[in-house]
Amino acid sequence: MLNPDGVINGCHRCSLSADDLNRCWTDPLPNVQPTVYHTKALLVTLKQMGKLPLVFCDYHGHSRRKNVFLFGCNGQFSWSPNDSQRNDACVEMLPKILNHLAPSFSILNCNFSVEYNRESTARVTIWRQLGLQLSYTMESSYCGCDQGPYKDYHLGISQLLEMGCKFCQGIQHLLEKLKTCKDNNFLGSKNTLDEKLLKSEQFAGQADVNY
């Protein structure tokens, strides 16, 4: 948890310094946003060591959209023309796997655009500054689900725990899939990636899913 002082005082978004901690990742201050500053510093250090994680995910609650979903970064849908040269075809792999694994997850609610007013968020900063392609925000709705077995129900502790379990399983399926790639840059045509993903989806769709 990066906002312990805010949460313990009833704030779901801002810290006690009145900062939105998901709008300061570009250049966090150590004495004002220490949790963000040191988390980012850890990721920078890991990159320098050549041990940058495969996936970065920031977990949030969402007050309007329903279900559980991911925001990711695809340079093809960026406000900056310079991002169009980036190869981010792999960003939709994990969401598609989760769409088969997790009853509360909805890929229809996912979004992979990079907006100018989101540049200082965790996912965009890690994607842009550290070059981590699979950088996400996972949103869990305050408003419940409108699809699947949890339709018209709120998401409780058991559903959130289930989503966490399915997220870990999804990463495992993703790792198995990426073993077939030739290098760590996820090189390959989008058609090739989609063909491999289809096999992963077929496998994931048979594993531990109770609809």
Question: Which sequence positions are flagged as catalytic?
Answer: 139
Cα dihedral across residues 45, 47, 51, 57: positive or negative: positive
Nearest to 123 by CA among 191, 179, 70: 70
Tell me how long the chain is: 211
Q: From edge to edge, which strands make up the β-sheet containing 134-141? A: 55-62, 134-141, 68-71
- Quick check: 104 and 27 in contact, CB under 8 A? no
- Quick check: 97 and 201 in contact, CB under 8 A? yes
**105 exposed, middle or buried (CB, 10 Å; 0-12, 13-18, 19+)?**
buried
Q: Within a 10 A sphere around the Cβ of 77, how many other Cβ atoms?
A: 16
